[in-house]
C-alpha cells in the first residue's frame, strides 16, 4: 500500500500548489476578431490571457465552458484568468460581436 499512498500524496501536493504558466498569453482584438483565435494552454495549469482590445468598442470575453466573463473597454487591456483545465476544447466569444469574435482554447 505504500506506493499508492505516495502517488496520492504527490498528486495532492501538485493540486495544492498550482504553478501558473510561465507568462500571460497575448491575445488581441481588432475589427471584432481575436488574434490568435486558437489559444493553446497546458492542461492542469492556471493560465492568464492578456487581452488587448484595439477596437473602439468594449468587448466581453465570454465562455460558458471556461466559466469566464471579462469586459475589456475599447483601447484597453485586461487579464482573463483561466482555471486549470482538463484536456479539451473550450469555445469562447466576444459577447457584443459574436458574429465575428469567436475563438477556442485548446488545453493539452
Binding to Cu ion (CB under 5 A) within 22-81 occurs at 62, 69
Give the range of 11-19, 24-32, 33-41, 88-96 binding Cu ion by CB under 5 A. Answer: 88-96
Strands (E), the chain: 25-30, 33-35, 38-41, 47-53, 59-63, 68-72, 76-82, 88-94, 102-107
> For the CA atoms of the chain, what is the radius of gyration?
16
Name the minimum Å distance from CB 35 to Cu ion.
21
Q: Where are the alpha helices (DSSP H) in the chain?
A: 2-16
Size of the site for Cu ion (CB under 5 A): 3
The only residue of 28, 70, 95, 97 in contact with Cu ion, by rule CB under 5 A = 95
Name the minimum Å distance from CB 17 to Cu ion.
31
For cell 482584438, the residue is 29
Binding site for Cu ion (CB under 5 A): 62, 69, 95
Amino acid at each position: 500500500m505504500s506506493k499508492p499512498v505516495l502517488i496520492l500524496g504527490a498528486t495532492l501536493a501538485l493540486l495544492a500548489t498550482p504553478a501558473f504558466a510561465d507568462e500571460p498569453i497575448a491575445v488581441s482584438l481588432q475589427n471584432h476578431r481575436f488574434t490568435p483565435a486558437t489559444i493553446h494552454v497546458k492542461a492542469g495549469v492556471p493560465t492568464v490571457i492578456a487581452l488587448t482590445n484595439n477596437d473602439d468598442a468594449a468587448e466581453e470575453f465570454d465562455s460558458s465552458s471556461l466559466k469566464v466573463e471579462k469586459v475589456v473597454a475599447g483601447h484597453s487591456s485586461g487579464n482573463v484568468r483561466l482555471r486549470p483545465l482538463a484536456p479539451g476544447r473550450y469555445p469562447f466569444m466576444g459577447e457584443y460581436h459574436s458574429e465575428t469574435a469567436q475563438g477556442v482554447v485548446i488545453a493539452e
